[in-house]
Structure 1
Amino acid sequence: MSLSIQQALTKAFGNNKNIRVLHVQEYAAGDALVPLSEEANASSRRASHGVTLVKLFLRTTGPAPDLPLPDAGTDIGMEIWLPEPGFWNNRIRCQIQGAFMGDFRVASPRHFSIPICTDLLSGEIASELGYVVSTTDGGHSVEDMEDFSYLMNADGSINSEGWKNLAYESAHVLGITTKELTEAYYGQPAAYSYLYGCSSGGRAAYHSAQQYPDDFDGLLIGAPSLTQSLMFPSLLHPIIVIQNELGGEPFKENQLEIVSQRALAAGDTTVNGQHDGYLTDWESNSYDPTQDLEILDTSSGGTCTEPWALSLAQAKAINKIWYGPTLDGEIPEPSDDNGSSCPRSKNQLFWGKIRGTRIEYTTIARGAATGLLALALQDSSLASPNWNHPTGVGRDNWRTWSYAQYASALVKCQSMNSHFANMDADEPQLLKRAQANGTKILTYHGLADPITNPQNSINYYRTSAEHTGGLAKTREFHRLFLIPGMGHCFRMAGCAGAAKPPIPTLEELFTALVTWTEENKAPDSLIAQSVDGTITRPIGMFLGRPMGPKYLGGDIHAASSYEVAC
């Protein structure tokens, strides 16, 4: 370990008994960026400039022992990458993982943390772009990142410290600790500090803006699970529908894909008159498979004789999956309410999936959903089989629930939010402090996200504007971009079919935030490109209603053929 990093660690943490440094590793320009668990080879990624890796953890309840406890929730692990002093860009980039964090690699001396919604390692971002980059494990480190049984104590009670650290404290601690080490190492504080998180990481980032608005100058927030107490258990809704409407009989191969493509074809021509293969206007699409005779089988009054033809019962079930969970399992006609209204209707407990989203994978139970049920109802039998706890093992006992039982569980989950350290971040009235600070918030959400609901982000944004001076004033510090066809967090399509929606890269989004924060050049639109590079299109900021770019004529695949409203 070089003298400079030794001195920086001593200066930053020498008197802090709650912090324990676990590992330091230095890479020179050209060195292979591989952890101790790997051997360098010809294909290994290389450091563009010198960079130093620091692994440490902070115990939030007192002095830190030599090693963190992996599942106590008290020991917040951190991985920090420091570019060589001559290459540092005077910026900090903190990053939060999604789901329940928990990446065991963060505090492991032998591994690197997994990249967050990008192909770049944290070490590459530091050595190639010049950022100080840091990541946290949220207070626990596990092989299965959807195993969060540690949040239930051995007696079945709630692990309050673990919940607090996961919900918001780990992001706060990450920011403070990274700033302290940065200033000690470079001899000056960072000029700007940023926070990025997607999914549950996006929820935690909104928490940061609401509770600790002084921590960061700019926040990039992707697909946030704002109302996580409802969003996670709502992931089970398609399975509940299949149980109650179809007797548990799963859909046949291709049925969900084909009906989703039909839904897209009913509403994907609004921008240029041609079929885009993805939706821009999510509010007006009221496609109803129960009225589509071309996909209904002959016994249901349809004309389809293909093996994948839908029964009327299946078509009704799909409408319920799209609408989302309700108090009694009943939904209105799609022509009256397609389920995407913001705010929700009185009978709607949470939103479903926007029509055209690929929903075939939503019929698989997620551990995050079943685990949250187990925690809220304090019943381990509701969790998935990977749940192994002193109070019992997971047995998926929710699978036989009626609509009424499921609705009761959802209500219970939300009522338990205060016991979960106020995990939900849907308190937009608190953004007034971030607004007063001049903090910049750039949020993006894919309109074909099969996990977190874009309607939740839309509703949050509209509501936040009511507390921050209206949409025009809100856009001065907080902007939302809805990306047609994008799936969950990563740069990939979430829509059914084979469309190639233009989706901005994470670095393009981050650059837009940095330019806005540091040069006050707010992004009115983003020029997005399909992954294969054949299609470009502008994506305008959200102006309060669905609004795609205006087609001017010419090549429908070229961004120059469109303009966006500002």
Structure 2
Amino acid sequence: MPSKIAIAASLALCTGLVSSCAPTGEANSTLAYAQDRARCEAASALGSLGATAKASWVEADGGLPAFCEVTAVLSPERGSEIGVVYRLPVGWNGKMLGLGGGGWAGNITLDAAKPGLTAGYATAQTDGGHASTTPFENPWVVDPVKAKDFSWRAIHEMTVAGKALVAAYYGKGLDRSYFHGCSTGGRMALMEAQRFPNDYDAIISQAPVYTLQVQTSAVLRNNLFAQPGAALGAEGAKLVSDAVLKSCDAKDGVADGVIADPRACHWNPQELLCKPGATGGCLTQPQVNALQVAYDGVRAADGTFAQLPLSKGGEAGWAAFVAINGDRKEFSNGGGTGGLVPVLWPGKQVDLNSLTPAQVVEGRASAFAKMYEAGDPNLAPFFARGGKLLMWHGESDPGPSPVGTIDYVEAVKRTDPAGAANGLQMFLAPGVGHCAGGPGADQVDVLGALDSWVSGGKAPETLVAKKADGAMVRPLCAWPKVAHYAGSGDVNDPKNYRCVARD
């Protein structure tokens, strides 16, 4: 093992990018590699991570560069235990990428960091202030410190400490810092832009679970299909999906199993109502009624959504987050709402099986909700310093509704029109589920698009989306426009589409 003097000498030699330590030749590369490892051995003492910091060297593998992994536990106040992981690659590109979590958990996995590491980013991750990785179990929310950490503090603390570590490790300041999150990570992204506009130069927020309307929508949808005779089941969902696609799929010029603009689809579920004596291939009146409520959503007395609308065309994928079989049991367990009862309605007995819109409004007025929700549309401080916010949402998402994201984007535009014109761009992905999946083209290089936007100064007007197997390639148009096939040429060539106004 190198001596402390050798380590110090190595660090002194490499005050810039790692690549600058290896001019040319195999001997110099070997020396630079040894210096990289020596630098990593000393990394736990860099920045201000404290006594819990540990550093380990990870060899290059499977396309990933070699990197230094630094872990620590941050404790901004008594009882706070924010686990953080930083991965510092050889061949650093000068930028840091913060990453968000999912459900009611953070994410410190290497898998989440791989895309950024491969592109040369130093990555920053956190467990959100609690060690559990179970996404929809959240008994820790009754602890005020842990609730604060997860709601807004963990990402900020991770970011501040990460910037200091990265700068000290590479011996130079960061060129830029970006954040990328989907679902809960999307909420974390918006929280950063709202509360800490100086943390990141640019932010990606995908399918953000940014208010508790997502959780209450999950509960109310489960209750909706649990009403007598209302359950759809997989067979009923497919029946509906087939009918909707037959009615609206080709409106964008190509029949491909995807509806480009679900809100312009005027198919009525009443069309599938069983005629007297029918025994199959149709819907009962309770099923028709439930479907219509699912499409329309439910508003509370104050005009806000207690249950956000689901999109037409995505019915075949609803079962991932909606108990369409009528038993109230689905993957997310109502978005984890059961664990929130003590903090949303403190001191009260609330039966989620009979949750009302009035109770939703009451819960969203709680102290926890005010701390957790990231619905503030005032991003003027973020935009004023040149911040860029790229938003993305799958049209067929059965969890957080794209309608919620649309509502937020429009509110931001109303609050600061000039700032939003320069710093906000949003894309909707037809046929795509929650963060990915579904029949639509769900693979998009949003990080590359964000970096190009920041570097070139011009917001992207289109993004290219693909299926992982290459079977579908489509352009996504910046909101509020939508892609329409021009009528000739390869349907998988984005050049054969144009961005048009929505109906």
Same-fold call, TM cutoff 0.5: yes
CA contact (8 A) 2:140 2:147 kept: no
Q: Distance in 2 between matches of 1:242 and 1:224?
A: 25
Q: Distance in 1 between matches of 2:389 and 2:133?
A: 32
State the Cα distance separating 1:371 from its structure 2 match: 2.3
State the Cα distance separating 1:177 from its structure 2 match: 1.1
Q: Distance in 2 between matches of 1:346 and 1:47?
A: 51
Q: Deviations over 1:340-387 (max 9, x none)?
A: xxxxx93853422111223234112335132233431237986xxxxx
The aligned counterpart of 1:203 is 187
State the Cα distance separating 1:252 from its structure 2 match: 4.1
Counterpart of 1:360 (choices 296, 300, 319) is 319
Q: Deviations over 1:116-144 (max 9, x none)?
A: 4xxxxx25642x32110121111001142
CA contact (8 A) 1:230 1:413 kept: no
The aligned counterpart of 2:470 is 533
CA contact (8 A) 1:502 1:535 kept: yes
Cα distance 1:353–1:47, how it changes in 2: closer, same or farther (>3 A)? same
- Aligned partner of 2:398: which letter? P
- Aligned partner of 1:193: which letter? S
The aligned counterpart of 1:141 is 131
| Within-5 A mapping of 1:38-77 | 46=62, 48-62=64-78, 74-77=80-83
Number of equivalent positions: 455
- Aligned partner of 2:125: which letter? T
1:265 partnered with 2:214: no
1:90 partnered with 2:89: no
CA contact (8 A) 2:95 2:177 kept: yes
CA RMSD in angstroms comes to 2.5
State the Cα distance separating 1:5 from its structure 2 match: 2.8
CA contact (8 A) 1:77 1:140 kept: yes
Q: Distance in 2 between matches of 1:348 and 1:147?
A: 24
Cα distance 1:150–1:380, how it changes in 2: closer, same or farther (>3 A)? farther
Q: Distance in 1 between matches of 2:114 and 2:233?
A: 45
Counterpart of 1:235 (choices 191, 215, 218) is 218
Q: Specify the SS of the correspondent of 1:133.
A: strand
| Within-5 A mapping of 1:101-112 | 101-102=105-106, 106=108
Q: Deviations over 1:238-283 (max 9, x none)?
A: 221133453xx743441022213322332222211x4232222232
Cα distance 1:552–1:521, how it changes in 2: closer, same or farther (>3 A)? farther
Q: Distance in 2 between matches of 1:375 and 1:199?
A: 21
TM-score, L = length of structure 2: 0.84
Cα distance 1:135–1:148, how it changes in 2: closer, same or farther (>3 A)? same
Counterpart of 2:46 (choices 5, 8, 11) is 11
State the Cα distance separating 1:6 from its structure 2 match: 4.2
The aligned counterpart of 2:178 is 194
The aligned counterpart of 2:52 is 20
State the Cα distance separating 1:51 from its structure 2 match: 0.9
CA contact (8 A) 1:553 1:562 kept: no
The aligned counterpart of 2:206 is 222
- Aligned partner of 2:352: which letter? W
Q: Distance in 1 between matches of 2:232 and 2:479?
A: 35
Cα distance 1:47–1:207, how it changes in 2: closer, same or farther (>3 A)? same
CA contact (8 A) 2:41 2:56 kept: no
Q: Distance in 2 between matches of 1:175 and 1:502?
A: 32
Counterpart of 2:361 (choices 406, 411, 414) is 411
Q: Distance in 1 between matches of 2:454 and 2:234?
A: 48
The aligned counterpart of 1:510 is 447
Q: Distance in 1 between matches of 2:456 and 2:259?
A: 33
CA contact (8 A) 1:257 1:359 kept: no
Q: Distance in 2 between matches of 1:381 and 1:254?
A: 36
| Within-5 A mapping of 1:413-562 | 413-416=363-366, 418-420=367-369, 422-429=371-378, 431-469=379-417, 474-490=420-436, 492-493=437-438, 500-505=439-444, 508-543=445-480, 547-549=482-484, 551-562=486-497
CA contact (8 A) 1:529 1:537 kept: yes
Q: Distance in 2 between matches of 1:240 and 1:124?
A: 39
Q: Distance in 1 between matches of 2:299 and 2:392?
A: 27
CA contact (8 A) 1:196 1:202 kept: yes
State the Cα distance separating 1:59 from its structure 2 match: 0.9
1:172 partnered with 2:172: no
The aligned counterpart of 2:147 is 163
Q: Deviations over 1:53-85 (max 9, x none)?
A: 1111101215xxxxxxxxx6x11111110112x
Structure 1 unmatched ranges of 5 or more: 31-45, 63-71, 107-112, 117-121, 153-158, 329-344, 383-396, 494-499
Moved more, 552-561 or 230-239: 552-561
CA contact (8 A) 2:216 2:307 kept: no
Q: Distance in 2 between matches of 1:102 and 1:50?
A: 24
1:183 partnered with 2:167: yes
Q: Percent identity?
A: 22
